[in-house]
Amino acid sequence: MSNPQQLRYSKEHEWLSTAEDGVATVGITEFAAKALGDVVFAQLPEVGDRVTAGESCGELESTKSVSDLYSPVSGEITETNQDVVDDPSLVNSAPFEGGWLFRVRVTEEPDDLLSADEYAAFTSN
């Protein structure tokens, strides 16, 4: 598995892009997508919702289980990926591209986000 170097990662298996104009993109990692299995339903936060780092803000349902979706940062949702709502399999087929989940205007970023190398070490256990 290759985790893009420019992203940061949470221990709950979400990735976070660098915030442009204060807005960052969030998705789940390839590691998490493989562990979930085929994603068949995505419940994402709504535009305008406030999210808190480390707290649940939605769900992903797969053929194996239902998993909470956690925000890696605190802020306000500015956009959700309607393509993923319409075709949840994008989470599996393109977790770092078309399978992104939401964009958030970041108000607070925790200190414990991991680099790609740190996340790779974290998931190798």
Residue-level pLDDT, tens digit, the chain, 125 residues: 689 999 999 999 999 998 779 999 999 999 999 999 999 999 999 999 999 999 999 999 999 899 999 999 999 999 999 999 999 999 999 999 999 999 999 999 999 999 999 999 999 97
Looking at the chain, the number of H-run helices and the number of E-run strands are 4, 9
pTM over 0.75: yes
Predicted confidence at residue 30, as pLDDT, reads 95
Query: Can you name the residues that pair with 77 across neighbouring β-strands?
Result: 104
Q: How far apart are CA 103 and CA 94, in angstroms?
A: 17
CB 69, CB 57: distance < 8 Å: yes
